[in-house]
Chain A
Amino acid sequence: MRGMKFSFLCRSKPEKTGKRVAIIGAGPAGLTAAGYLVCKGHDVDIYDKMPEPGGLMLFVIPEFRIPVERVRLGAKELEEEFEVTYYPKTKVMEGERQDEGDEFYERVVRLSELKEKYDAVLIATGIWNVRRIGIPGDDLEGIISPLELLFWIKGHELGYVPKEKVPDLKGKKVGIIGAGLTAVDVAFECNRLGAEVEIFYRRTIREAPAGAYEINILRNRGVKWFELVTPKRVIGENGRVKAIELLRTRLGEPDETGRRRPIPIPGSEFQVELDYLVFAIGMVSTPPVNGSYLATDRRGRIVVDSRHMTSVEGIFAAGDVVNGPTKVGRAIKDGLYTAVSIDKWLRGEL
């Protein structure tokens, strides 16, 4: 196997500019930006809170979609051929906030500190918090965050998580709410580990963001697909999930995303018994700031201008932390064009 070549634009390191760039977040956006910047002769250091670079590609997305080795070799090439230095297990933060995957970091560095030490800073920290649904019982034991569950499963396979942390899902009933890429991957992994999986979605398979193709593979594997249902409350017993109460929905007029809006039907409640419940209903941007150090929008995404620069001169941002949940290709695109801006800005052309 060959690694991804993040430095695909050049063969070897050109003459050094003497400029130093810190990148926060070693996902596809950060690594691709690093590849561009080293090809322009800048020195790049990458900070990430996880034990190794790769972001969601490495720690969440299943091996059959993106092989670990493909990402690992790519990150290693940047280190060995282009002198990129990684600072793993290092969370960058201005202010404080708990995010998913925080159990892996050992050090904290302040964003303002990096700004002082480097000529430019790029934030590419993605969407490492899970949206809460806000219904009664949504904090019961047995409700697992989709990211956490995937971290445990993949982290265990990568040797970072002890076996005891991975819940024994064999024969257990796992309910998943949502029908995006996350819901589907959680379903794949739980099914593989022997769970009885049921997916609950408020629209129909036609509107499902993961697409009918992926969902039908799961159905062929015995995953149950419930459409036109929405959760009303989680029912517990001794503090643990016992069942979920759902309402049937019907589709109304299209909403701002162009998909028909699901409308709950009053009086249509029914219950499904479960051992575990996963809300895969969306993820939230996690900028390395909590407070007013730099500008974010209503949904917590970092606000950037046409130069991909944040409200702080010299700090840029790219990838899902700016755009919300997208795909690897979109993160790579944003990483590339932001790196072009950083290079121009460092040369005084912007």
Chain B
Amino acid sequence: MERKYLYLDYLTCIGCETCETVCAFIHDGNPNIRIYVTENKQYVPINCKHCDDAPCLRVCPTHAIYRDEDGAVRIHEEKCIGCLACLQVCPYGVPFYSLKVKAITKCDMCADRREEGLEPACALMCPAEAIQYGPLEIVLELVKERRAKNIPEHQRELSDEELERSVISGYSVL
């Protein structure tokens, strides 16, 4: 299957909390995408980027972290020993340990929904269209199209290559 990306564009996000809300709704009140508030009151959703070169996947000693056929970085719960090595290396501090599941939990790109042919809920419901889901080419195109509507303060001169690196979160780990 074709690799899908789930890209959250901070230059477009208005911090409305819809993504966190719908994620919590479909996960019994425990969202995988969470809003953090910065010192100057920007509301910033933090979520797994399903990195192309995912440090968490590389570091996991028990190979509990794998990539599924759509490209989502996922957890084999029964293999996770809770060592938190993935949390140590995730640039975004995404994985967290669930005492209930007794394993790391994180965004699985709405795996259950994808099985039913539905897309990730946050991307479908974000009113600002700040979250794009799909194959790389389409995501890049939609991000560019949406960014063109941003105020100048939220536009950046990025080369296609730079934008692509941001979307795939392929900042190579030195």
Contacts and interface: CB of A to CB of B under 8 A. Distances in A.
A214 B149 CA distance: 17
A217 B21 contact: no
Interface stretch (A4-12, A123-131, A135-143): A4-12
Interface residues of A, number: 37
Contact of B149 (A63, A210, A211): A63
B124 A329 contact: no
Nearest to A208: B41
A82 B116 CA distance: 18
B41 A332 contact: no
Category for how many chain B residues contact A:
20 to 34
Nearest to A35: B125
B16 A336 contact: no
Nearest to B134: A2
Given A65-B14, A333-B25, A8 B125 contact: yes
Contact of B150 (A6, A64, A188, A213): A64
A211 B127 contact: no
Interface stretch (A66-74, A246-254, A284-292, A297-305): A66-74
Interface in A51-87: 57, 63-67, 70-71
B62 interface: no
A65 B129 CA distance: 9
A257 to B, nearest CB: 15
A273 B150 CA distance: 33
Nearest to A54: B127
A70 B151 contact: no
A220 interface: yes
Interface in B7-47: 14, 16-22, 24-26, 38, 40-42
A132 interface: no
Given A11-B116, A213-B42, A330 B17 contact: yes
Interface in B48-91: none
28 contacts: A1-B145, A2-B129, A4-B125, A5-B124, A8-B121, A28-B18, A64-B151, A64-B154, A66-B128, A67-B128, A67-B129, A67-B146, A67-B149, A70-B128, A71-B127, A211-B40, A211-B41, A212-B41, A213-B40, A220-B153, A328-B16, A328-B18, A329-B21, A332-B125, A333-B17, A333-B25, A336-B21, A336-B22
Given A8-B121, A70-B127, 13 more contacts: A2-B142, A5-B119, A8-B125, A28-B127, A67-B128, A67-B146, A208-B41, A210-B41, A217-B151, A327-B17, A328-B17, A332-B18, A333-B21
Interface of B: 14, 16-22, 24-26, 38, 40-42, 116-119, 121, 124-129, 142, 145-146, 149-151, 153-154
